[in-house]
Amino acid sequence: MPRREILIEGLTPEQLLNLEELESLAVTGAPLIFRAGSADILAEFSIEDQTLKVELAVVENGGEGVLPALFSLIERSAVKRRLVAIEWWIYARNCAVPNPRLERVLTRLGFQVRENAAGSECYWLRKSTNASLWNRR
């Protein structure tokens, strides 16, 4: 059975990539709540020194491949904007209902446990835009 494309706020990843206002709407350095597939996501996106900083604070529900779809879209967007790297901060270490599978997946992808400036533990990874984080199928 073919995988169903995950819509983000009702748009396909291709539509989002071609949206001229995407950067001004999403890359603001302020918290942003959006829907991807069946997941509600709280995230923050900012750019500093040609690096896209992605902070994922909450991902509720989902399970149909939302993270791989989101990772792929973010990577493609950073490459399109000629950014040199993506710095990922995923705040899933101390959530109320932790997902044990998530730690295994993130570790396998190369994420490390780090403290942010406020002292909270999170999963962290800096990845060059010429190296894919998630193998596309």
Mean pLDDT of the chain: 85
Q: How far apart are CA 123 and CA 35, in angstroms?
A: 22
pTM: 0.84
Residue 32's nearest CA partner among 74, 79, 83 is: 74
Give residue 23's pLDDT band: very low, low, confident or very high (50, 70, 90): confident
Whether pLDDT at 87 is above 90: yes
Which band of pLDDT confidence, cut at 50, 70 and 90, is reported for residue 93? confident
Rounded Cα distance, 66 and 97, in Å: 18
Cα dihedral across residues 43, 11, 132, 23: positive or negative? negative
Share of the chain above pLDDT 70, in %: 93
Amino acid at 12: T
Torsion of CA 115, 55, 109, 8, to 10 degrees: 160
Architecture of domain 13-128: 3-Layer(aba) Sandwich (3.40)
